[in-house]
Amino acid sequence: METNLKLYMVLLGCTPKGRLTEQHDIFFGIGRSIEELIPDMYTFWADGGRLHIDAWREITQVDNYTINITAKTTEAKNEKLFFINMGGYKPNDFEEYHYKKLVIAQTMGEAVKKVKTSTFYKHYGFKGAVSHIDDKYALDADDLHHVQDILLPHLQELYTIKITPTTAIIEDELHIGYLKLSDNPNK
């Protein structure tokens, strides 16, 4: 089994054909480096546009848990890693703001409860335009995902996200800024 594999969260950007503005999406990948993930990023985006990275993070810790990648196992896990995309608004501002959050929880409901206490959720909304989590469970939510389930299929088959409690608190480094990617290596 490969060693030194890491879980990455990447904010991809692209202006697809026929669109007026740049579009964004979050990609989760597993590899030894961010560069190693480029073919999977193009597979994920799928429309053939020219991609770039606006931000990325190697996920090593979330809350009081360390995150590691291990060979796929069938052992039951209580804690799960969730990705939540919250949307919100400011009065007189023609924009929807988003805040991306990683949460460790046993269930989606528990994850939602945790993010509803966040500063973003409380301050990016007003009467008629409330903050929301983009979700599919009768909550006002857009995107709520168990990260293991949204990895590309070949990664889901090989790897498991291992979540271990820790007392050490380490902030993952955020790499922010435009990073041009090479041409689609999948063509």
Indicate whether 46 and 108 sit together in one domain: no
For position 134, what pLDDT does the model report? 52
For position 139, what pLDDT does the model report? 39
d(CA 183, CA 187): 9
Alpha helices (H) along the chain: 38-45, 108-115, 119-123, 147-150, 153-158
Indicate whether 105 and 164 sit together in one domain: yes
pTM value?
Answer: 0.86
Q: Are 58 and 67 in contact (CB under 8 A)?
A: no
**Full pLDDT tens readout for the chain, 187 residues:** 456 999 999 999 998 878 888 899 999 999 999 999 999 999 999 876 789 999 999 999 998 999 999 998 766 578 999 999 888 888 888 988 888 999 999 998 899 888 888 887 777 777 777 666 654 333 345 578 999 999 999 999 999 999 999 999 899 999 999 988 877 777 6
Q: Cα 163 to chain center, whole Å?
A: 16
- Residues 15-51: tens digit of each pLDDT: 887 888 889 999 999 999 999 999 999 999 987 678 9
Output the six-digit token pair for 26. Answer: 């979050």
Q: 43 in helix, strand or coil?
A: helix
Indicate whether 87 and 5 sit together in one domain: no
Indicate whether 75 and 129 sit together in one domain: yes
d(CA 129, CA 21): 23
Instruction: Give residue for tokens 């961010």.
Output: 34
Indicate whether 128 and 88 sit together in one domain: yes
Assign residue 47 the CATH number of its domain: 3.10.20.10
According to DSSP, the residues that pair with 86 across neighbouring strands are: 99, 133
Output the six-digit token pair for 104. Answer: 């460790």
Indicate whether 104 and 158 sit together in one domain: yes
> Number of structural domains, the chain?
2
Output the six-digit token pair for 154. Answer: 């070949």
d(CA 103, CA 156): 19
The residue segments making up the domain with residue 165 are 61-169
What are the C-alpha distances in Å from 19 to residues 14, 16, 22, 102, 119? 10, 6, 8, 29, 32
d(CA 68, CA 148): 12
Indicate whether 65 and 53 sit together in one domain: no
Indicate whether 74 and 19 sit together in one domain: no
Indicate whether 68 and 94 sit together in one domain: yes
Indicate whether 81 and 161 sit together in one domain: yes
d(CA 118, CA 67): 22
Indicate whether 93 and 138 sit together in one domain: yes
